Amino acid sequence: MKHHEYKLISCIFILYIMLASCLKDKGNYTYHAVNDPVVVKGVDTLYVVDVIKQSFRIAPVITTPDGKPIDTSQYTYSWQLNQGIGIASDYPSLVPLSTSPTLDIPKDSMVRTITNAEMRHKLFGAYTAFFRVTDKATGLFKDTYFKIVLGSTSAKGWLLLCDPENGNTRLGMISSMYTDSLVPDILASVGSTFPITGQPRFITVDFQTRFKPSSGRCPFIGTSQHFAVLGSDTLEYKNPRYNLANYITGLPTPPDFSSATFASDGYHHYLQNNGTLYYIDEYDNLPFQACNYLNDVPFRASKFVAPYTVEPYFRGAIVFNEDTRTFLRTPLQAYCLELPQGTLFNFSTKQQLRYMQYVNTFNGGEVFAILDSTSKINLARFSEDGTQSYYREITAPDIHDARLFAVDNTFGFIFYCAGGKLYEYNMSSRQAQLIHDYGNNKITVLKIFNDNLDIFNNLFSNIVVCTYNEADKKSGTLDLYTTPKVDGMVSLVKSIPNTGKIVDVAYK
């Protein structure tokens, strides 16, 4: 009997607990707002900093909420740089800058701070940041947010590989970070330690991930004595990691790059040196490998290489065998393959190769090759798989004396220079027009940049022409022309004088 009474009492108790839990909360609580522990003034919303030439200082005024000075020993301080605006969240989120009430960063220290944090994206750009003041006793803190734009004269613009005609190299720059300005020696300006010994050979800006902590578009630079990659933002040089000669086997000591040329297409790069053609693929972990082999027999490779990328997996380059004067294809391997039998011309041309370029958007992507048969100058066009589409003689003024060539990416207009004259050739009408006569000035560079990089700066133009007067060592001019329209007409956009003798240019 007592057993049943205990069960009844237990059930009543449980029912009471359940009913009590369903009672409505009247919500008659009193809430009190917590004031910020301090008031911070003197922190602007935006700062623009030249990280190489400028120190950076913020000295905020910190008071209690009623305006009285604080006891600085009763608080902790933290200045934090957040990840770059628009950068994916898998990058480091916070970089500590200081734990003092005043942020005081000497010039160059911002570069070291971010580099030491191994932020893999580009150093220059816009960042969010905040200053946190924490009350030691209560743990309450106050955050003050602001933005920092980090930049330098080396951030973006035209890199000018110049020949001072003293046996060495000078890298100038038309910087457009703040205002368009000519920096005669950008390496000295930013404190880069890249050795300038040896005559200038090439400068290219392209993607790389293998040789430095910060991946992205970096300058590849070559002199007759050095072959290296520089930092994407500050042009820093760290030997041995950035010294690309260390990634090539079989080079003499010291290395000789006096005849070297360089070609790149995205993430694979080609170096031609003394007839040997080396390649390296960013997607594997192998060093530069020689690929000028056909059926295991080496051949002398031309200085002209036409890398191509047909997404997603068909990558390689068209090369030219100087021994047999034959076009070949290398499929990103340590060998070359023969192209199929041609329908318009023989790939074993028995002609001298004057110029070759892969034009990635014209007719779905084609190789333009200009050949010299002694009596005729011929234009050949074919795809990366060897499908031929065009073979005709170029009948144009001064074409036999032409030294430099470039091909427009949209309509296939061919630009060439002979002496001081710049011409444009239309292969459809087979007519040429004189664009400009530079007189006694020598044209040293003719390049067309087919990337749409003008979204970054209005200084960028597709056609670059560099001239130099040998009688005046201080002369030198870089001219920018517009992209050709459907009628082939171009116009001069801007002319930058006093550059010195330019032998190659690149845009970063």
Residue 434 · residue 422 · CB < 8 Å = yes
Q: What is the pLDDT of residue 459?
A: 43
* Whole-angstrom distance, CA of residue 110 vs CA of residue 126: 13
Is the preceding peptide bond at 298 cis, omega within 30 degrees of 0?
no
The verdict on whether omega for the bond into residue 200 sits within 30 degrees of 0, i.e. cis, is no
Q: Please report the pLDDT score of residue 124 as a whole number.
A: 75
User: Quick one: what percent of the chain has pLDDT higher than 90?
Assistant: 60
Listed range (153-167, 255-269, 386-400, 440-454) with the worst mean pLDDT: 440-454
pLDDT at 65 over 70: yes
pLDDT of 455: 41
Q: Which is more confidently placed, 399 or 250?
A: 399
Residue 143: count of CB within 10 angstroms of its CB:
13
79 within 8 A of 103, measured Cβ to Cβ: yes
Question: Which residues, listed in sequence order, are joined to residue 228 by a DSSP beta bridge?
Answer: 221, 243
- Range of lowest pLDDT (334-338, 352-356, 485-489, 504-508): 485-489
65/288 Cα distance (integer angstroms): 64
247 secondary structure, DSSP code = G
- Residue tagged 């960013």 (tokens): 282
96/80 Cα distance (integer angstroms) = 5
DSSP code, position 24: P
Task: Please give the single-letter amino acid code of residue 407.
Answer: V
- CB 319 within 8 Å of CB 331: no
Spatial distance between the Cα atoms of 416 and 404, rounded to a whole number of angstroms: 6
* 19 DSSP 8-state letter: H
- The closest of 200, 201, 175, 197 to 186, measured between CA atoms, is 175
Q: Which two tokens stand for residue 4?
A: 């049943």
Which pLDDT value is given to residue 87?
A: 42
Question: In this predicted structure, what is the pLDDT of residue 83?
Answer: 61
Measured from the Cβ of residue 23, the count of other Cβ atoms closer than 10 Å reads: 7
Confidence of residue 50 (pLDDT cuts 50, 70, 90): confident
